[in-house]
Homo-oligomer: A and B are copies of this chain.
Amino acid sequence: MVTKQQSVPDIFQENCLSRQVLQLIADQWTPLVIAALNDGTMRFGQLLKRIGGISRKMLTQTLRAMERNGLVRRVVYPVVPPVVEYTLTPLGQTLVEPMKALRDWAYGHLQEVAQARTAYDQRDHTPLQDAVASLVQQREKSL
């Protein structure tokens, strides 16, 4: 029996399938659509209003991609004017938790990130200064 102890395949390899899948969900809008649809089925227009700053085009594109990848189900009611509903599939629901973890991380570390950014922007970043800073840091560690 061959036990391939490889819980993670080589995500560092180009053309790795899992990397491709990862890239399907690690974009600007997918996390927000997941969050929105986690509250229940929504129509196109509702999503458009709910997710501030998204354009018709991007919402359509994102939803289409998600549908294609099996994350959402799209139901078209043949009435006029048309009604189209979007719902998370069971597969899509498995993404809710990981995505929530990411959003929570973002929310939980707002200040730290903001501070880091301010600090970074105040420092010099000439090659020389970078090196000196590293030296100082080195010295401090050895004390």
Q: Which positions in A face B, CB cutoff 8 Å? A: 7-9, 11-19, 21-28, 31-32, 35-36, 50-53, 67-71, 74-78, 91, 94-95, 97-98, 101-107, 109-110, 112-117, 119-121, 127, 130-135, 137-138
Residues of B within 8 A of A132 (CB): 78
**Which of B22, B51, B68, B107 makes the CB contact (< 8 A) with A106?**
B22
Contact yes or no, A91 B77, CB < 8 A: no
**Which of B69, B102, B137 makes the CB contact (< 8 A) with A26?**
B102
Majority-rule SS of A interface residues? helix
Contact yes or no, A69 B131, CB < 8 A: no
7 further A-B contacts with Cβ under 8 Å, apart from A18-B107, A68-B121, are A12-B51, A18-B110, A21-B113, A25-B106, A70-B113, A91-B109, A94-B105
